[in-house]
Structure 1
Amino acid sequence: MSPRTATVERSTKETEISLSLHLDGSGRAECETGIPFFDHMLSLFGRHGLFDLQVHARGDREVDFHHTVEDVGICLGQAVGKALGDKKGIRRYGFALIPMDEALAQVALDLSGRPFFALSKADPPPLSLLYAGSFSAQLLEEFLRALTVHGMLTLHLEIRAGRDPHHLLEASFKGVARALAMSVEKDERVVDIPSTKGVL
């Protein structure tokens, strides 16, 4: 099997990003975005998905973190799509239920070729009012929407419980990583594209 890898570069007036992804890695991650909490989330994304992930990003953080976080999501989505190729032999679907102390995140993912993202949170306050240090929990939504649209996948995330912003964000990133790892996994019984349409 040829390596399922991809490298994506993105340069705009707001950000400059280089991202490399190996879907069949061992969880090695090297992430430098200038946003320490985001680096932590990306590193555990690689670790718990068993993806080798390298991210180097410069952005207009003096404005806020939004552009950097969103554009890394765009690049990661594009890298997933490039690394998957024609999607032959994959499981296609993935799911995870991840606890982090009092927090609980439930994720369902389909490499459908149809971008759709849904996020719900069971308890108040809304994500826009929660911060892990200087990192707004609302940025989780921006990152995952960009990943979903540019990775051409369907993603449902439900934050079923959680009071500590760090915990609910970490459970969410880990959950998406585990669900994605399951969906891209090769299944020897699947010899073609896992769809009755013949295309994803």
Structure 2
Amino acid sequence: MGRDWTLRETLYVRDWAGALPLSVIAEHLHRDWREVASEAGRLGVPIVFLGTPLWWCDECASLTGRLHPSGMCWKCAYRRQLQQVEARTAALLKRLPWDKVEDYATREAERGSARHEPAPTPPDTLNAPPRAAVALQTAYLASRSEWEARKARRKLKAAQKRKERIAAKVREFEGRRESERATMEGAA
């Protein structure tokens, strides 16, 4: 059909046919899906995909069940948002006097968090046929990435609430300082 197959491409088809959708393999190799199907047939490798589709996240170098519109996994998207929220929180803390920051840090450290759900357990694929093992493993990897994304989202939500509490303290402190300044100017 097109260009000759390289050893790297043939090995990729051998390793991933039946474990990834044919369209994903074809996209990765920059080939038509019919060429990939033909090569898989020549190698005697099944092409029917039984597992959950997985995508690669370049940010954390892991497989994930869903990608954020930015192209990274949701866990990494939440982590990036968390960094932004923490940067805004740090900027807000700079606007408070040191004793208030210290007081807030100790009270904040004492706050408890909600109970966390346990991580999904890896499936037992020891006696499973190869394609069933792939289906079990991909389902596990997808559920694991969803669990990690939920965990990262909880951290993000907690940080957002913390930022809101600090912003309220900053508004209260700056409002009090402004009213004290107005009172001093009125007295003078």
**Which TM-score band (shorter chain)?**
under 0.3
Q: Give the TM-score, by structure 1 length.
A: 0.26
Which structure has the larger Rg over C-alpha atoms?
Answer: 2
Provide TM-score, normalisation by structure 2: 0.27
Give the structure with the higher percent helix.
2
